[in-house]
Copies of this chain bind each other. A is one copy, B any other.
Amino acid sequence: MTKDDVLKALSTVQEPDLGKDIVTLNMVRDLTVEGNYVSFTIVLTTPACPLKELLKKNCIDAVQSINKNALVTVNFTSSTTTLRSDKGSVLPNVKNIIAVVSGKGGVGKSTVAANLALALSKGGAKVGLMDADIYGPSVPIMFGVRGERPMMIEVEGKGMIVPLERFGLKLMSIGLLVDEKNAVVWRGPMASSAIRQFVTDVYWDQLDYLVIDMPPGTGDIHLTLVQTVPVTGVVVVTTPQDVALADAKKGIAMFGQAQMNVPIIGLVENMSYFTPAELPQNKYYIFGKEGGKRLAAEYDIPFLGQIPLVQSIREGGDIGIPILMSDEDITKHAFLELAGNVARSVSMSNAHMKSEEIAEVVE
């Protein structure tokens, strides 16, 4: 059994998302063969890849198909892909910028953004969360950092804001920079100018993913953002309610416009059903069933997942710890699955696959 034999065998293993074999994709590294001992490393396109176990099994099967006594060690590493080549411009060291948007308020956009960032980070990626919702910044309360004032450092002669760190995540919120009462009076051009400065003046350093919690709605501020920052794509959050879906359509339409033309990473259906923590087997579809899933199918965009609403009768609301850091397993699992699908969708988009092709793979 030579290295070439093993590579030939491994070239029958498909990367399921990208639809090509792992040898062609240059994902196999550090291959060693000694007698029956085979060892190599697979370089994933994202540390949050949910397909590791499947790939591992397929690799072992492939090698053993040419030598049934082979003892195969599969290591994993990752190098998050990026489409960005503009290293000299805005946020030069951030590989992927994910804007989380919603057509209307009240659908849980900020909860999704925060827990998506945490879940990506748990998968091993370097992640930042930027709370740019100037009309209702929620990160300060959600992460218990209200009242903290971020430090400044000088980077190449320019004063920059240093993000806070919580739960392994880099964090910044417009709510940490301005007085809570002043934030809401920003309108139109002022809001756009504030957000532009806010995005460009934070020192994120090296990141695989920067998740931006955008203001709700579809307006000038969204246009400003995509003109200022090279956004990789948007994640649209909706609930299964008709009114929310109608506004989600507006959001999808807006980002698809020629002047914006930002890829849709996919749609998340939040508050898909209610489950009492005491009775996890009971699902109450209080806002209707699978409206978000149908919407994604209608627009040929990836459906990234359903997030249930879980509550115990023992607690009444916000406890100041993000769900992903709590001991509530149902929602946590949903967010981890969501993060996996977001990472997959971004990887596929970076590999120049089209939204409708990605939608067929992510289900």
Tell me the A residues contacting B by CB distance below 8 Å: 104-106, 136, 216, 239, 241-244, 274, 276, 278-279, 282-286, 288-289, 309, 311, 313, 316-318
Contact = CB atoms under 8 A, between A and B. Distances in A.
30 contacts: A104-B105, A105-B243, A106-B106, A106-B241, A106-B243, A106-B244, A136-B242, A136-B243, A216-B243, A274-B274, A274-B284, A274-B311, A276-B276, A276-B279, A276-B282, A276-B284, A278-B282, A279-B279, A283-B313, A284-B311, A284-B313, A285-B311, A285-B316, A285-B317, A286-B309, A286-B311, A288-B317, A288-B318, A289-B316, A289-B317
Contacts of A279: 276, 279
Contacts of A317: 285, 288-289
A250 to B, nearest CB: 13
Contacts of A316: 285, 288-289
A313 B241 CA distance: 18
Contacts of A283: 313
A134 B286 CA distance: 24
A289 B317 CA distance: 8
Nearest to A247: B105
Given A104-B105, A216-B243, A274-B284, 14 more contacts: A104-B104, A104-B106, A106-B242, A106-B243, A136-B243, A276-B276, A276-B282, A276-B284, A284-B311, A284-B313, A286-B309, A286-B311, A288-B318, A289-B316
A278 to B, nearest CB: 8
